Structure 1
């Protein structure tokens, strides 16, 4: 199971709901630390934990600008791919697939960037 700080999780043992605050290590294994709504802490074994919601960081202005830049670049690459395929004498279907392929290459680059700069997940 992969968790990040801020994920909302529930314990199967005593039905406590809280956010993941970290990992505590003891002699027999690891325990997940849940921060409860009343301010207390609860230590739960990873096997008895159910993830209710994932933490999503709020979109910053910088991240939104990067997304728009990638979108504009992807549209430019798709246009260039379509024009190149058309100039080589491709049919309309091959031209369409060339444009989709060019767009997808840039979209994959954006997804990789977003995954690398997103919240860190740790294995429990």
Structure 2
């Protein structure tokens, strides 16, 4: 199971919902903050993930997403136009455009994954 600080989990012992505040990989313990009580340490086997923490979208990420999208569209157009100029048929043009677009989409998803919250295997 992969957990990040801020994930909401449910404890099997008393079905209490809590937020992950610290992860200890050495003995597979997780520190939870349960509303109305003190933080408690539980083992990772006693937990169910209820919801994942996703940070709010920043203006920088929106700008990067827009730039990657526009660049991907430009590359898709150039790829399709190049295939058309070389005498390729419509299917080959579509596949070249999809390949060029997907290249930048994979790049943006990788950027999001590298800059997102760190997940710990417990």
Tell me which interval the TM-score lies in, with the shorter structure as reference length.
over 0.9
Name the residue aligned to 2:20.
Answer: 20
TM-score (norm 1): 0.93
Deviation at 1:120, TM superposition (A): 0.7
Deviation at 1:40, TM superposition (A): 2.1
Deviation at 1:23, TM superposition (A): 2.2
TM-score (norm 2): 0.95
* Counterpart mapping for 1:99-114 below 5 A: 99-114=97-112
Deviation at 1:88, TM superposition (A): 0.9
Q: CA RMSD for the aligned pairs?
A: 1.3
Name the residue aligned to 1:96.
Answer: 94
**In 1, are the aligned partners of 2:23 and 2:120 still within 8 Å (CA)?**
no
Aligned length: 122
Alignment gaps of 5+ in structure 2: none
SS of equivalent residue, structure 2 residue 15 = coil
Alignment gaps of 5+ in structure 1: none
Kindly report structure 1 stretches of 4+ aligned residues shifted beyond 2 Å. 23-26
